[in-house]
Amino acid sequence: MKLELSRRDLFLAGGGAVAGIALSPVPWKLLDDLSIWTQQPPTPTPRPAGPLAFRFTSCALCPASCGLKARCFGAQPVGFAAVPGHPASDGGLCPLGLTAHHLAKHPLRANHPERVSGGKRERIDRAAATAALSAALAACGRDPKRTFAVVDGRPGRSLSRTYRALAAATGGLYVTPPAAGAALSLEALAKRFDGGALALGVDFSKARRVVSFGTPVLTDAGTPGLLARLRAESRRRPAAERIEVIQVEATRGRSAALADRYIPIAPGTEAAFALGLAHVLLDEKLADAAFLEARTTGLADFAALSARFAPALVEQKTGVGAGVVTALARDLAANRPALVLGGDPTAGPLSGETEAAIAALNLLLGAPFGALPVRSEAPRETDGDAKLAAATSLDALPDGSVGFLLLDATVAEGMVPWARLERALAADALVVSFSPFRAGLGEKATLLIPGPAPLEESIELEGPADAPFATLAFAPALLSPPKDLALPEEILREAAEAAGLSLPAPAAGARSAALLAARRGRLYDPAAASFVAVGDVASPDALGELFARGACWVDDATPEPKGRFALLKDGEAPRLLETALGAPTALPASLASLPRVAVSAAPPSLLLTKLTRETALFSAPAAAIPTAARA
């Protein structure tokens, strides 16, 4: 009997084999193991050894300067936690800060100077890097058409002083990016005050409603980790005591995605929306009458202006339903303290007139001196006899004028758009970055001289300009920088000397001395979870010891000044009316291409990017809301 095997039998046997494999552990076990294999970190962190210890410092990734409690094995930090009671963050910490210790091992980390030529990176030694800097400085001194410009993302440090000295010595420019966060809104309010110079901050802990017209309060601006924590805590309280964040924006950005409510609005119609809210507040007598009576002028004129913005008209202009406008105004009035923030200068600023309307809305809600407290600046050393350039803005850089552009490691692309910097460059300009990463602006440099990564250097950290109190920390380093790493301060001084430029000596300890001399404020010692008055600190050494333990200075409360805010300034009404009645504008094309993290110059940790991709930690990049969706 002969067995006849046909093609049909082979197919059947093949099908049986496929079915057998499918019914075996092979597919799903392989899938599981291969997924683990593909996730093995490209730069594994060595398993730390040594006893468990907790150390304190402050996060330098963004201006918020949040307190960090580091869990260390030996000298190696393996995890971070927020510091409850810390003056800068009060127990808040964002996902970037939680993973700050990963960055020194980031795959994009650069440890040696690199020259970029024809798209190729070539490793060079420190002497060659210094020679290139020196030659560029000398060339700028010889040719008045090739300016030296330095961009500093964190002014006020001792390195900033060297930058300013170098700019002064070469006749160059010292550029600082616009303050991020709520700075423009606070400035708009301060300009309306007739009682002298006024600086205001934002105290989220005193607010129950936060309306933002673009400031990314939950992701990038101010102290986002703090607001997120306050909001999460408030959710455990009765509904009437909860903090809610309402984002009113044309794009559903990251902060809008995390907000309690997102109100999509036609771009360029924010002033009409703010005046619509003002209309409801005044029409239904919901505004803070006592504050208006005691602290403002021009109520009648402003009421006449806002009377034109009935919710029905606002609906036509903004695309937001009249009911939504009315309900939001009533909600803000019923849940005071409420505050309103405008656009973020780094992520799409609003016009001056729109910020004026938002300032008036804050006055109607009685926000100043409550949720928007008055604050002072931290004590600062004087310039003395040193010749130092004054800070200037990006607008001071004429197109095609910069022969040597120096980018500090703290400059994030979100703060200073590369397109704007590129426009200012002369032909064959040298672009030097001190970023420790081949990412962000560090990637644009033609000469990368990497400095220390986050946590690898002790750094002077002044809190953001929109914080409720001035804070200052000298955050101690937790990691050792790689051997032979060129420190920006050293390499700049070497290059300046080689170029024949004279720089003043570093003012080591001058800031601490200024702090002690001012005898203002208190120092929070995170290890002891207690405050020490500056007046009780015996000596500069004792102060240095406190800072080395991760202490943070916080200013005393600033007394409320006398004076009144103008709801409308002279001649402002027609301009405001014109802006609010104008047609919607086009959405700036740059908005959709903004980097994911606007204020940190460091690339996010790989773990964080993985979590970001796989969870709802952040939403997708900003996307325009179609007009039809607003109806």
Partner 1 sequence: MKLPAPVSFAVGLVPALAAGWLLFPRLLYRTEAQPLPFNHKAHTEGGMGCADCHAVAENGRFAGLPATEACAGCHAEKGDNAGINALVASYVEPGREVPWLVHARQPDNVYFPHAPHVTGDKLACARCHGPHGESTATKAYVVNRLSGYSRDIWGPSIARVGRKEWQGMKMSDCIQCHRAGGRESACLDCHK
Provide, rounded to whole angstroms, the least separation between the CB of residue 181 and partner 1: 24
Which residues have C-beta within 8 Å of that of residue 383, sequence separation ≥ 6?
Answer: none
Rg for the chain (alpha carbons), in Å? 28
Residue 210 near residue 247, CB atoms below 8 Å: no
Angle, nearest 10°, between helix axes 270-283 and 572-581?
110
Provide, rounded to whole angstroms, the least separation between the CB of residue 1 and partner 1: 5
Q: Which is nearer to partner 1, 13 or 307 (CB)?
A: 13
Q: Which is nearer to partner 1, 70 or 365 (CB)?
A: 70
Provide, rounded to whole angstroms, the least separation between the CB of residue 225 and partner 1: 12
Provide, rounded to whole angstroms, the least separation between the CB of residue 25 and partner 1: 5
Provide, rounded to whole angstroms, the least separation between the CB of residue 373 and partner 1: 31
**389 beta partners:** none
Provide, rounded to whole angstroms, the least separation between the CB of residue 437 and partner 1: 20
| Through-space distance between the first and last CA atoms of the chain, rounded to whole angstroms | 80
Which residues have C-beta within 8 Å of that of residue 242, sequence separation ≥ 6?
Answer: 208, 231, 234, 235
E strand or H helix at 357, and its extent?
A: helix 352-364
Distance from C-alpha of 310 to C-alpha of 283, rounded to nearest angstrom: 9
Neighbours of 151 (CB within 10 A): 23
Q: Which is nearer to partner 1, 29 or 519 (CB)?
A: 29
The torsion of the CA quartet 15, 16, 20, 21, rounded to 10 degrees, works out to -30
Provide, rounded to whole angstroms, the least separation between the CB of residue 31 and partner 1: 11
Q: Within 61-146, where are the H helices?
A: 95-98, 126-142
Site residues for partner 1 per CB under 8 A: 1-6, 8-9, 12-21, 23-26, 29-30, 32-34, 36-37, 40-41, 44-45, 47, 51-52, 78-79, 95, 98-99, 101-102, 607, 611, 615
Q: Which is nearer to partner 1, 25 or 626 (CB)?
A: 25
Which residues have C-beta within 8 Å of that of residue 60, sequence separation ≥ 6?
Answer: 410, 454, 455, 459, 461, 475
Task: Please name which of 320, 351, 361 lies closest in space to residue 576, comparing C-alpha atoms.
Answer: 351
Provide the token pair at 524.
């929070």
Three-state secondary structure call for residue 138: helix
Provide, rounded to whole angstroms, the least separation between the CB of residue 203 and partner 1: 26
Q: Which is nearer to partner 1, 4 or 385 (CB)?
A: 4
Residue 501 near residue 481, CB atoms below 8 Å: no
Q: Which is nearer to partner 1, 16 or 574 (CB)?
A: 16
Provide the token pair at 269.
């119609």
Q: Which is nearer to partner 1, 31 or 289 (CB)?
A: 31
Q: Which is nearer to partner 1, 38 or 382 (CB)?
A: 38
Provide, rounded to whole angstroms, the least separation between the CB of residue 77 and partner 1: 9
Provide, rounded to whole angstroms, the least separation between the CB of residue 477 and partner 1: 19
Angle, nearest 10°, between helix axes 322-334 and 270-283?
60
Which residues have C-beta within 8 Å of that of residue 33, sequence separation ≥ 6?
Answer: none
Q: Which is nearer to partner 1, 13 or 592 (CB)?
A: 13
Q: Which is nearer to partner 1, 36 or 628 (CB)?
A: 36
Q: Which is nearer to partner 1, 26 or 517 (CB)?
A: 26
Q: Give 200's DSSP letter.
A: B
Provide, rounded to whole angstroms, the least separation between the CB of residue 614 and partner 1: 9
Q: Which is nearer to partner 1, 243 or 608 (CB)?
A: 608
Provide, rounded to whole angstroms, the least separation between the CB of residue 454 and partner 1: 15
β-strands 261-264, 244-249 pairing? parallel
Which residues have C-beta within 8 Å of that of residue 571, sequence separation ≥ 6?
Answer: none
Distance from C-alpha of 567 to C-alpha of 99, rounded to nearest angstrom: 44
Provide the token pair at 323.
């009911």
